[in-house]
Amino acid sequence: MKKYNRNDLCWCGSGKKYKKCHIEFDNKLSEYEEQGYDILPMNVIKTAEQIEGIKKSGKLTSEILKMVEARIKAGITTEEINTWVSEYTLKNGATAAPLNFNGFPKSVCTSLNDVICHGIPDGTVLKDGDIINVDVTTVLEGYYSDASRMFIIGNASEDAKKLVQAAKEALRIGIEAVKPFGDIRAIGVAIQSYCDKLGYSIVKDLGGHGVGIDFHEEPHVDHFKREGMGELILPGMVFTVEPMINAGDYHCDTLDDEWTVVTRDGSLSAQWEHTILVTETGVEIIV
């Protein structure tokens, strides 16, 4: 960590002298660092103004997912979902973060059955028994919010329904493991112990991420168990938890379109995602 002098202006932007502001907080962090935690740069802590902006963006993302929920059914194409999301987003003065992000060609990700994530909307028609993840990231007044959920189309198999429910529960359990001044790796530990019991696997190649000022920020969030200590969770952090759970093996492949991530063994995959805010006492789900 960078050291400040007592009479310097505090790094937090309060305009106060360091000795009257974050000096004690930083001393506390040094103790955590000695215990073995990784301490991230302090810009992972969002200001009140930024949090307000991210929450406004999150409200719109939530509305978009509800709008999709009301319309999605067998017979529509994933391209239609893209049109709904794009039109709703623009009508509300926002932009869809996926569009043109590193060359992604659409405004939303639609990931069907064995597609883990980053599915590209196209002419594929939804049919009875499908399971699909719709992942919405909205930029409103410069602030990003990112959330996704599963939809079950018509009557799905018991196996598919169980997986969808388990992925939702994995998200809940992961978020429950988030504690201010706790270890970011606790999330993966908790999700892994849940999934192991069910015989499901957790995708390792992709994870959650800080979000708010940009699409993907620090910290990176693993959803599986990693040994050792990770980053220290701090109040004011905003990040996603978004476990991708496979019915079969955890391995994944990326298709030739350079985006669509599928299970290597062709098994079903499910994912739910929230953007969360760490508070002094716990966690708030932004969207």
Footprint of Co ion on this chain (CB under 5 A)?
A: 135, 146, 148, 240, 273
> Which of ligand MF3, Co ion, none does 18 bind, CB closer than 5 to 8 A by kind?
none
Q: Give the nearer residue to ligand MF3 in terms of CB position, either 26 or 114.
A: 114
Measured between its terminal Cα atoms, the distance across the chain in Å is 32
C-alpha dihedral sign at 24, 30, 34, 35: positive
Q: CA–CA separation, 283 vs 287, rounded Å?
A: 12
Q: Give the nearer residue to Co ion in terms of CB position, either 53 or 212.
A: 212
> Which of ligand MF3, Co ion, none does 57 bind, CB closer than 5 to 8 A by kind?
none
Helices 185-198, 158-176: inter-axial angle, 10-degree rounding: 150
- Is 239 within 8 Å of 211 (Cβ atoms)? yes
Q: Give the nearer residue to Co ion in terms of CB position, either 137 or 267.
A: 137
Report the alpha-carbon angle 20-25-26, nearest 5. Answer: 100
Closest distance of CB 265 from ligand MF3, Å: 23
Closest distance of CB 29 from ligand MF3, Å: 28
DSSP character at residue 169: H
Closest distance of CB 59 from ligand MF3, Å: 17
Q: Give the nearer residue to ligand MF3 in terms of CB position, either 37 or 88.
A: 88
* Binding interface with ligand MF3 (CB under 6 A): 98, 101, 104, 109, 118, 135, 137, 146, 240, 242, 259, 273
Closest distance of CB 259 from ligand MF3, Å: 6
Q: Give the nearer residue to Co ion in terms of CB position, either 37 or 143.
A: 143
100: Cβ contacts below 8 Å, ≥ 6 apart: none
Q: Which residue is nearest to ligand MF3 (CB)?
A: 98
Strands (E), the chain: 95-96, 109-112, 115-117, 131-140, 143-152, 201-202, 208-210, 217-221, 238-241, 244-246, 252-254, 261-263, 269-271, 274-278, 283-285
> Which of ligand MF3, Co ion, none does 183 bind, CB closer than 5 to 8 A by kind?
none
